[in-house]
Chain A
Amino acid sequence: MDKKNNFARLRCFFKSLRLGVRSKATGALAWEYREFENLFALMVLSQAAGIAGPPSFLSLDLLPHMERELLVLLDRARESGDPYGELFSIFEVG
């Protein structure tokens, strides 16, 4: 019974380690991915923010397919109070 438990603990440890290494390796990529999605939503809907953007008909065509990008945009807007903090934590500065 102990042997089984130890084996399960060991597996759990290695899984966490693997996830940790993966997450560290992909952190910058995931950040870039989210930034690109945010930028895409900003470009498509820039007219709403008073910035020059694509013709509004193009935005109307894309909007029904952009639920995820809109959620990313809203998240980014919430986090925008501490952009440097977020950036530094991603690149492990400080």
Chain B
Amino acid sequence: MAAVGMYLFTGKGGAGKTTCAAAFALQLASRGQKTRLASLDPAHNLGDVLRVKLGPDPLEVAPNLVALEADLAAALSAKTEKTRALIQQRYRYLTVAALDPLVDLLGQSPGAEEQVATDVLSDLCEQAAAVGEVLVVDLPPSGQTMRMLALPDLTTRWCNSLVKLRKRILERRGTLNRILKEDSPAKDPDGEACPEDPKHDPVSAALERQLARNQALAKDLGDPTRAAVVVVTLPAAIYLTETRRLIDGLDERGIPVSALVLNRAEQTSPIELDPDPGIKPAAILPDLPDEPRGVDTLMKLGRILEAVINSG
């Protein structure tokens, strides 16, 4: 059975994280654990590994196991369109069309892909928790994963700064409204009094929503009893060097790595990283003659993985 609620598989491109995530999820499901397997890698190949055609909606691929490949481009487009629709609905005095380039700019800004992936991860966590499923995620390659997993903490810090500033604004607004009454400068573009109570202020409400969502994800990611980050690597110098950087990078962001997997290894000795990150346990997967594809082959790898990952 699963020891934690979420397992995140990452590593350098080509290390086998999709194969390991799929194998591990199949193993959990075979033991009766309701499991949701999701790919957040923009270059999906989860469907290829499982030999089924996957899309953004969950598909039952085995008993107790649903799988999906998130459509990050569609999620990004939906986010900008939602903002555009809300602006059209709420703005009265500004030329709405003039804000279109600003919405486009924000939607296409650097890091948007990582942000939409983090947003989808947050949704997946909520959905899985709501129906009592364990979430197994195939993350993007290491560089993108590091930027992506740093976002909940970064957004939390920005939200905290903006919440503090917003409180100051609302306090001064309240004082001005009390003293100047109808002559108060705190009016909206229609001349109506602006809300001074954070509960009625839509900006404060939006900030609080984002804060709660990102705090919850940051808390999960920083706690190995809630989320296990599994790094998959290959027995080659370039992979081991990047693995070292990935582990250090995640550690700097307060995200501990729960397990290392050495994939396609002929050796049976433990993973040698310089210096030793001291991360145990480490699973060693054999170098199979054929690429492991389909449920039956993956199950063999899943058994090895589960024994090691959940023993930590």
Contact = CB atoms under 8 A, between A and B. Distances in A.
Contacts, number: 119
A67 B185 contact: no
A44 B93 contact: no
A22 B165 contact: no
A10 interface: no
Contact of B207 (A32, A62, A63): A62
A58 B155 contact: yes
Contacts of A87: none
A70 B94 CA distance: 9
Most buried by B among A25, A60, A61, A62: A60
A48 B103 CA distance: 10
Contact of B172 (A32, A45, A47, A54): A32
A71 B94 contact: yes
B109 interface: yes
Interface in A24-63: 25-26, 29-30, 32-34, 36-37, 39-40, 43-45, 47-48, 54-63
Interface residues of A, number: 37
Interface of A is mostly: helix
Interface stretch (B175-183, B269-277, B290-298): B175-183
B93 A67 contact: yes
Contacts of A8: none
A68 interface: yes
Give 8 closest A-B pairs by Cβ, nearest first.
Answer: A64-B86, A54-B158, A65-B202, A33-B172, A56-B106, A56-B109, A57-B115, A60-B83
Given A26-B175, A36-B169, A67-B93, 5 more contacts: A26-B176, A36-B172, A61-B209, A68-B194, A69-B203
Interface of B: 79-80, 83, 86-87, 89-94, 99, 102-103, 105-107, 109, 111-112, 115-116, 119, 151, 154-155, 158-159, 161-162, 165-166, 168-169, 172-173, 175-176, 179-180, 183, 185-186, 188-189, 194, 202-203, 206-207, 209-210
13 contacts: A25-B179, A26-B175, A26-B180, A37-B169, A44-B162, A54-B162, A55-B115, A55-B154, A56-B115, A61-B206, A61-B209, A62-B207, A63-B99
